[in-house]
Amino acid sequence: MSDTGIRLSRPLLLCEDNPSVPYTYNGKTYYFNSLNYYKSVVRECNANNVSVTVQMLLNWPEGHEDLINEGARVPGKLFYSWNIYSNSAREKMEAMFCYLGMVFSQKDCYVSNWILGNEVNHPSGWNYAGNMSKDIYFETYAYAFRSLYYAIRSQYANAHIFICTDNYWSPSSSRRFSARQTITYFVEHLNAIQKGLKWNLAYHACSFPLTYTRVWKGYGITNDINTPSVNIFVYYVCARLLNISTAFSSGTAWLLSVLFAFATNKIWVFESKSQGRELLQEMISFFSLRLLTGILDVIIMYVSVELLNWNDMMMKVLVNVLVIVLNYGASRLVIFKDRR
């Protein structure tokens, strides 16, 4: 299965004095582009088992500026946030979505994936919000998402509807929400409108600038980024689900996380190329030093949980922070220092 993408960045509404396809929604007739070119492309993709994704974008809609949120009607921006607070504008948006759902939900002409907007965590650039507040911005996006969701899935139930962010997972200083914040705020507002809707995430996993290639070699990866997750997960399964003792659960979690950590440290974090005797020496050193921090882990967990009755999951997280620091120092300074 291959994939292709189509960007619908022009408003589909046409002037009433030059109608193309009449479409009635809520008792009102709108006139839309026939989309014949797009239909031919989608049909060809469907016939050749190519999955089609359409990205819905709102650029400056000459003659239909009411589609843009009132606080964002500034010409010259890339793309805009929809207007859901005017009944006529909202119904016009819904009519557009329903028309698209009708056109691209045919047996020989269907779109599998729909993305609403572009990098919506960047409201000053790629999904212009103007002076909209955070809550208004995400309420607007969540409502537009629900409209697209029902317009498409009511006619093609297998379609997937996506939100779109860039690759900035953490907050930045610019006029941008982090991807994580965007997902959180979006879900909060979507659930406030209606719970239970299925959403998907499309994100731009690109480095900045695009010529910066060290990111693909794992540059900037910190030691054991996944090991704490392995450790805590295994501990939770053993201690909470299987009711095994704290000491045994911690020991089992340590063993599995160390095996995982050795592989990730050697291959990606420190890019060690050792083989044969050097590899054996690395393993012995790695497991020996990890054994010391593992014993420390078990002792702290036993004392704090079994003797002092502190919360075991809270202590497991805190102990992992301490162990990460100690393990990184040992790996950096002793085990892999001369193996690249």
Q: pLDDT tens across 160-192, in order?
A: 999 998 877 766 555 578 888 888 899 999 999
Cis check: omega of the bond before 11, within 30 degrees of 0: no
Which phi and psi angles does 48 have, rounded to 5°?
A: -105, 20
**260-270 residue pLDDT tens:** 777 766 665 45
Among 60-64, 284-288, 310-314, the least confident range? 284-288
Angle (nearest 5°) at CA 11 between 95 and 40: 85
Whether the pLDDT of residue 226 is over 80: the answer is no
Looking at per-residue pLDDT, the higher value among 77 and 172 belongs to 77
Domains and CATH numbers, the chain: 2-206 (3.20.20), 227-335 (no CATH)
What's residue 3's pLDDT? 61
Nearest residue to 162 (alpha-carbon basis) of 53, 37, 24? 53
The one-letter amino acid code at 70 reads E
CA dihedral 252, 258, 260, 264 (to 10 degrees): 170
% of the chain with per-residue pLDDT over 70: 77
Rounded-to-integer distance, Cα 226 and Cα 261, Å: 8
Nearest residue to 82 (alpha-carbon basis) of 54, 115, 59? 59
Mean pLDDT on 125-153: 91
Instruction: List CB contacts of 115: < 8 A, sequence separation 6 or more.
Output: 53, 54, 55, 56, 162, 163, 164, 202
Q: How confident is the model at residue 225 (pLDDT cuts 50, 70, 90)?
A: very low
Q: What is the 3-state secondary structure (H, E, C) of 10-36?
A: CCCECCCCCCCEEEEECCEEEEECCCH
- Tokens 């050193």 correspond to 285
Average pLDDT, the chain: 79
Q: Give the burial string for 24-54 (b: 16+ CB within 10 Å, else e).
A: ebeeeebbbbebeebeebbeebbeeeeebbb
What's residue 250's pLDDT? 78
**278-289 residue pLDDT tens:** 767 777 777 777
Whether the pLDDT of residue 146 is over 90: the answer is yes
DSSP 3-state assignment of 308?
Answer: coil
